[in-house]
Amino acid sequence: MIVLLAWLMVPVVIGARLAVQGPVWGVLIGAAAVAAGATAAWRIAGQGSMGRSLTGVALMAQVSLLVAAMGGSPWQIDMHMAYFAALAVLVIYSDALVIAAAAATVAVHHLGLSYLLPAAVFPDQASLGRVILHAVILIIEAATLIGVTISVNAMFAAAEQARHKAETAVSNAQTAHAEVEAARRAEAASHAKMSQVELEVERQRAEAVGILAQQLARLASGDLTARIEAEIGDNYAQIKRDFNAAVDALRGAISAIDTSSGAIRGGSDEIAQASADLSRSAAHQATSLGETASALDELTATVRQSADGARQVSAIVSSARTGAAHAGQVVRDAVTAMGEIEQSAVEISQIIGVIDEIAFQTNLLALNAGVEAARAGDSGRGFAVVAQEVRALAQRSADAAKQIKALIATSSQQVGRGVTLVGDTGAVLDDIVSKVTEIDTLITVIAQSSQEQASSLSQVNSAVNQMDHATQKNVAMVEQTTTAAANLRTEAAQLADRIAQFQTGEAVTARAPQARRMARAS
């Protein structure tokens, strides 16, 4: 129908073009090509969504040609209504993909040709607002149609499922009816046979009940050799096999219990003897553990005292190390001070050298002044006296400077020797600090080891005390075990007497007197 509608649009497009008195051949060729394309899509893939989508796109292309054919006419804008009509017609496919493809075709057409060829879309100049308005209306209609399509498909699917369930139910009902009818006929056929079978079953039941009651009476009296040997009906053959199997199992169990009772008696005697031995051994072990715990207490106290002494020695050695380090620092400060004194002596020697040079120059000047005064004669006699005194003063200064220089040289030698001695003292103190540090480290390790030994001994002592308590509990439990073994021996004798009441064959009768003798002996 959509393909036919695409072909029907060909004369409509031509008529619209003739109505506006425009050239016909262009729209004719375009409309025919679109209709032919729709036919080819239907032929090639008409049963799938792709073929349906192509036919829907072809229908929208025909509507676009119709709008273009009305170009220049005031009716062109009204031809846009054909888009919505064609979109609604595509709902017949019940395929949301077809509606989406058609809506996309219209959107691409409007957005593209509104700017490339506006006259093919709108009668006057295109505007973005008009394009947006048409797009919004198109989106609303497409979304609504897609929703309707999905809903219709869902209803079709539900209806198909309900139809399938109804057909299945009808088929099942027919099968059940046939089975009921067959059962009714089978019941009618077998009803006649049941009367005869019931009489035979009643006879066999009475015979089986009598035989079973007789053998149960023997079994109740303690005869475990009671078996059903007589032939009974097939319906009660399973009861016969079960009764015989039960009697055999009971006889085997009683025989096994009789055999085990003797073993239990022997085992109880061995358990009683072993319990007595274990009790004596546990008591001896408890005494040994008590002595071990006391010795460990004394050893722990001794190790703890050693650890405390090691900690005190570590503290004293640490204090000695601190004092030695302080003394070493004092010696280093003394060495520094000696060096500064030696440097000061060198500077004083330099100053004394300057003073000696000044005295030499003063003596030379005084000598020159005496020469000049001698040349001056009587007028220079007083100046010669002064020059003589100045020379004497310069000579005394030079002598004093030499003495001071000699003293400073001696002092410098003594200071150097003192620096050497103080340096040796500092080296010795550094070695002492190093040794004291090593001693402190060793004492610390010894203290830690002693502490760890004390802790380990405490744990060992605690473990030994726990073992002592556990041994005491074991002694009590061994005594209880001895009592329980004696009770078990008595119960085993009583069990042998009770088992002797059953008749299982020669094995029991042969062991019964022995069991009674064991009971009397106990």
Q: What is the pLDDT of residue 371?
A: 80
Are 157 and 252 part of one and the same domain?
A: no
Cβ atoms within 10 Å of 103's Cβ, excluding its own: 23
Are 504 and 396 part of one and the same domain?
A: yes
With a CB cutoff of 8 Å and minimum separation 6, the contacts of 8 are: none
Are 124 and 268 part of one and the same domain?
A: no
Q: What is the pLDDT of residue 318?
A: 78
Are 252 and 166 part of one and the same domain?
A: no
Contact 102, 46 (CB under 8 A): no
Are 382 and 474 part of one and the same domain?
A: yes
Q: What is the pLDDT of residue 116?
A: 67
For residue 429, what is the domain's CATH number? 1.10.287.950
- Choose the final residue of a domain: 112, 135, 170: 170
Q: What is the residue-level pLDDT of the chain in tens, covering all 522 positions? A: 888 888 888 888 887 777 777 777 877 787 888 888 778 777 777 677 777 777 777 778 888 777 777 776 777 667 777 777 877 787 777 777 777 877 777 777 666 666 666 656 666 666 666 667 766 777 777 777 777 777 777 788 888 888 888 788 788 878 887 887 887 787 777 776 777 767 777 777 777 777 878 778 877 777 777 677 777 766 667 787 787 888 788 777 777 777 777 777 777 777 777 777 777 777 777 787 777 778 777 777 787 787 777 778 778 877 877 877 777 777 678 778 777 777 777 787 778 777 778 878 887 787 787 787 777 777 777 767 787 778 788 788 778 878 887 887 887 788 778 778 877 777 777 777 777 787 778 777 777 777 787 777 678 778 777 877 777 787 778 778 778 877 887 887 778 777 777 777 655 444 444 444 444 454
Contact 516, 258 (CB under 8 A): no
Q: What is the pLDDT of residue 522?
A: 47
- Choose the final residue of a domain: 170, 194, 226: 170
134 located within any domain: yes
194 located within any domain: no
Q: What is the pLDDT of residue 76?
A: 64
- Determine if residue 53 is left, alpha or beta; phi over 0 gives left, psi from -120 to 50 gives alpha, anything else beta: alpha
Are 377 and 507 part of one and the same domain?
A: yes
Are 166 and 252 part of one and the same domain?
A: no
188 located within any domain: no
Range of the domain at 305: 248-516
Are 259 and 165 part of one and the same domain?
A: no
Are 344 and 490 part of one and the same domain?
A: yes
Burial bucket for residue 251 (CB in 10 Å: 0-12, 13-18, 19+)? buried
196 located within any domain: no
330 located within any domain: yes
Q: What is the pLDDT of residue 515?
A: 44
Contact 461, 300 (CB under 8 A): yes
Q: Tokens 């380090």 appear where?
A: 325
253 located within any domain: yes
Are 266 and 410 part of one and the same domain?
A: yes
Total structural domains within the chain: 2
205 located within any domain: no
232 located within any domain: no
Q: Tokens 């089975």 appear where?
A: 179
Are 122 and 260 part of one and the same domain?
A: no
Are 127 and 263 part of one and the same domain?
A: no
- Choose the final residue of a domain: 146, 170, 194: 170
